[in-house]
Structure 1
Amino acid sequence: MSILNYQQQGTGPHVILIHGLLGSLDNLNMVARDLKAHYCVTSVDVRNHGDSFHDNTMAYSELAQDIIALLDHLAIEQCTILGHSMGGKIAMEVALTFPNRVAQLIVADIAPVKYPAHHQQILAGLQAIDLTKITSRKDADKQLSPYVKEVGVRQFLLRNLVLMNEQWQFKCNLHNIVECYPQIMASYNGNSQYSGPALFIKGGNSNYILPEHKNTITQLFPASKAKIIQGAGHWLHAEKTVAFNKVVLDFIANN
């Protein structure tokens, strides 16, 4: 079985960090930076992202199995798992399917529910970039701007572009991600429970975790707690790094 690309830093109890859609392991660097002083932090590239292998399916059962294969490869019996957005869904799937491998679960701004498709503009914009006509990220940014208005979002997306043999190309497998998009939006469809310590961190300005999700969360994660980071949106770890990291460190230390 292929093993996910990963980066490990620090020593101590194990913490696994899982990024969101169209991201890569360095997205959670600002979290890893504070955690690595006390923990052994393993940041991963999800399949079809970063430097990990490519595959034409992205069902959460398989994405969770990828994490377990990595834990086995690294001889990690048990760990804390933190996932943001899609990474949070993967983290939840791991905890629900392999509860004995997860000491604690931290989910950043996502619920275990089906979300309506809402990345169409982004995916269409990325697919519209003519890689043969760009000589720099700036050129790509120009092509993407009619589709994605926010400069910060464009900068984040364009980190997927790399120069290889003097030709710009996507590091992520954009085709597979687009094809698997319905799987990525899907809800958890098992009937397990994770009764270990779980923390859901919501961005105060984000609408990813809503009051109507509370029952589902409590049903699947009976011991879960919630924290809201005021003034932060969906990218709460990047927007309010100090507050986010404090919440994470306090939660891990207290359990």
Structure 2
Amino acid sequence: MPQLEADGAALTYDDEGPRDGDGVPLVFVHGWTANRHRWDHQLEHFSQKRRVIRLDLRGHGESGGSGARTIEALARDVLALLDHLEVDRFVLIGHSMGGMIAQTVALAHPERVERLVLVGSISRMVYSRGRALLMSASTKVPFKLFIAANIQRAFAPGYPREEIREYIKGSSATPREVVMTCYGAMRDFDVLDRVGEIRVPTLIVHGYHDIQLPVRQMLRMAKAYPDAEVRIIDAGHELPVEKPAELTEVLDRFLTGRP
């Protein structure tokens, strides 16, 4: 896979699809402890007709580097990659922490973002009681147990356990320093009072059973957006892998303007 050296980190990325395809490139950004393969279904679908870019954030997946202490630092990595690829204007699609990064990019460079998609994300980090207890216990329990508890909660009831175990295994491969530093970056993230500045068409997609970032928190964010469309899917927090085809269809309709 190609890599880009950015501020001391080797960022692994994919850049696929026709350069002269339909519309500006789609840029996919994954969430906390995940990697670019969360978007496999969307890459396969959209790269048939348009350029699709996705990356492993620093310290995640096949990218090197230590954890970023702010969401702004992660946003700079995304912009560094797009500058390297000479992509000036794009559609930005972020899941969970990736949605926080996407909002940060849109606020800093509104002229470059044609459309914005937030999947299972919010504009101000507010932890539920259960999530807060998990995070406070993070220094008292084995790291793998802490990861397993977080990932288990991310899926809706009834999702196959053997598949959840695979995602737990993948997340556990993320270095502890990266996991906890990025957690701190999310904890400090708050742009709720600024999202009214984001004037581009925005799609907000959320899982009905999301207990990591509950629907009520998302709705608070959606009210602040001047041009937001909201879609609720019968899933948990991990929409890209729980309901990949349904998410792809929702994205396709938004991108093509179909009702």
Which letter does structure 1 place at the counterpart of 2:240?
H
Query: Secondary structure in 1 aligned to 2:11?
Result: coil
Q: Show structure 2 runs of 5+ residues with no match.
A: 1-5, 153-160
Which letter does structure 2 place at the counterpart of 1:223?
D
Residue in structure 2 matched with residue 5 of structure 1 by the alignment: 12
**How much has 1:123 moved relative to structure 2?**
8.6
**How much has 1:124 moved relative to structure 2?**
7.1
Question: 2:151 & 2:108 partners in 1: Cα distance?
Answer: 36
**How much has 1:235 moved relative to structure 2?**
1.5
Which letter does structure 2 place at the counterpart of 1:236?
L
Residue in structure 1 matched with residue 101 of structure 2 by the alignment: 90
1:75-94 Cα offsets, whole Å, 9 max, x none, are 00010111111111111111
Residue in structure 2 matched with residue 227 of structure 1 by the alignment: 231
The answer to whether the 8 Å contact 2:69/2:182 transfers is yes
Residue in structure 2 matched with residue 214 of structure 1 by the alignment: 219
Are 2:210 and 1:194 equivalent residues in the alignment?
A: no
Which letter does structure 2 place at the counterpart of 1:4?
L
Aligned residues: 231
**How much has 1:242 moved relative to structure 2?**
1.9
> Among 44, 49, 52, which residue is 2:60 paired with?
49
**How much has 1:151 moved relative to structure 2?**
4.4
Residue in structure 2 matched with residue 80 of structure 1 by the alignment: 91
What's the TM-score once normalised by structure 2's chain length? 0.78
What's the TM-score once normalised by structure 1's chain length? 0.79
Are 2:253 and 1:246 equivalent residues in the alignment?
A: no
Which letter does structure 2 place at the counterpart of 1:101?
R
**How much has 1:111 moved relative to structure 2?**
1.1
Query: Secondary structure in 1 aligned to 2:59?
Result: coil
Which letter does structure 2 place at the counterpart of 1:250?
R
The answer to whether the 8 Å contact 2:202/2:228 transfers is yes
1:38-84 Cα offsets, whole Å, 9 max, x none, are 21111111111112231343311111111111110000001011111
Query: Secondary structure in 2 aligned to 1:39?
Result: coil
Query: Secondary structure in 2 aligned to 1:178?
Result: helix
**How much has 1:23 moved relative to structure 2?**
0.7
Which letter does structure 1 place at the counterpart of 2:184?
P
Residue in structure 2 matched with residue 141 of structure 1 by the alignment: none
The answer to whether the 8 Å contact 1:83/1:107 transfers is yes
Question: 2:33 & 2:114 partners in 1: Cα distance?
Answer: 27
Q: Show structure 1 runs of 5+ residues with no match.
A: 130-143, 162-169
**How much has 1:155 moved relative to structure 2?**
1.3
**How much has 1:148 moved relative to structure 2?**
7.2
Displacement over 4 Å in runs of 4+: 121-126, 144-151
Question: 1:61 & 1:210 partners in 2: Cα distance?
Answer: 25
CA distance 1:28–1:58, shift in 2 (3 Å): farther
The answer to whether the 8 Å contact 1:115/1:186 transfers is no
Alignment RMSD (CA, Å): 2.9
Which of 1 and 2 has greater Rg? 1
Identity %: 23
1:214-234 Cα offsets, whole Å, 9 max, x none, are 344333x311110111x2111
1:1-255 matches, cutoff 5 A: 1-2=6-7, 4-11=11-18, 12=21, 13-116=24-127, 118=131, 120=135, 127-128=143-144, 151-160=162-171, 170=173, 172-189=174-191, 191=194, 193-207=197-211, 208-211=213-216, 213-219=218-224, 221-229=225-233, 231-254=234-257
CA distance 1:123–1:14, shift in 2 (3 Å): farther
The answer to whether the 8 Å contact 1:122/1:147 transfers is no
